[in-house]
Amino acid sequence: MSAVNILNIATVVALCFIFVFTGARAGNLESHILERALSIGGESQARQIDRGEAIRNLASQGIVSTAPTFRTDYTDYRLVKGELYFLGYRVVVITEEYVMQWLGCCPNPGIGVIVQGPVSEASMQSFADRNRCEVDFYTWMVRDIDELDQQTEYRSLHCPDEF
């Protein structure tokens, strides 16, 4: 077993331990993994969980597929299977931006979410400010996702690796 697999298993076991002993409800483990991937913390001010590790953990729980649903420019989009919540809002897509091949201007590697609204701009912006993320209240990319209801309001949050 590789060191990466052992680390992933240890992370999931540690998170389960935290939830059991803090009285957290079942089903919140996935939301907690996602929130840690979007949040900064500690002295290093780095994301609490690496985006790749978070996506692998969510994939192992059946929340997203290991392969992206589709990719545009520098961003992978993974549709969420089932229910996943962030800040109380239903997450419908997890995004991962990274550079595989230089396409031109402005890659911004990191992880993000698209949530189903309506969303309180104040709560989303407050999280973004605390964690050096960016909020998009006009989520243009949903028009390209056939699986999403085009009449529903969506918001996106992108949390770059470096800030």
- Average pLDDT of the chain, as a whole number: 80
Predicted confidence (pLDDT) at residue 141 exceeds the cutoff of 70: no
3-state SS track over the chain: CCHHHHHHHHHHHHHHHHHHHHCCCCCHHHHHHHHHHHCEECCCCEECCCHHHHHHHHHHCCCCCCCCCEEECCEEEEECCCCCEECCEEEEEEEEECCCCCCCCCCCCEEEEEEECCCCHHHHHHHHHHHCCEEECCCHHHHHCCCCCCCCCEEEEEEECCC
Which of 6-10, 26-30, 35-39 comes out lowest in average pLDDT?
6-10
Q: Give the count of domains, the chain.
A: 1
Mean pLDDT of 60-83: 91
pLDDT of residue 26: 39
- Give 93 or 3, the one with higher predicted confidence: 93
List all residues 6 or more positions away from 47 whose beta carbon is below 8 Å from its beta carbon.
Answer: 36, 37, 38, 39, 40, 111, 159, 161
Which of 90-94, 103-107, 124-128 comes out lowest in average pLDDT?
103-107
pLDDT of residue 139: 63
pLDDT of residue 19: 41
Predicted confidence (pLDDT) at residue 46 exceeds the cutoff of 70: yes
Rounded to the nearest 10°, the torsion over CA 146, 148, 151, 152 is -160
pLDDT of residue 132: 94
pLDDT of residue 94: 95
Mean pLDDT of 146-152: 78
- Give 40 or 138, the one with higher predicted confidence: 40
Cβ atoms within 10 Å, residue 36: 19
Boundaries of domain holding 22: 3-160
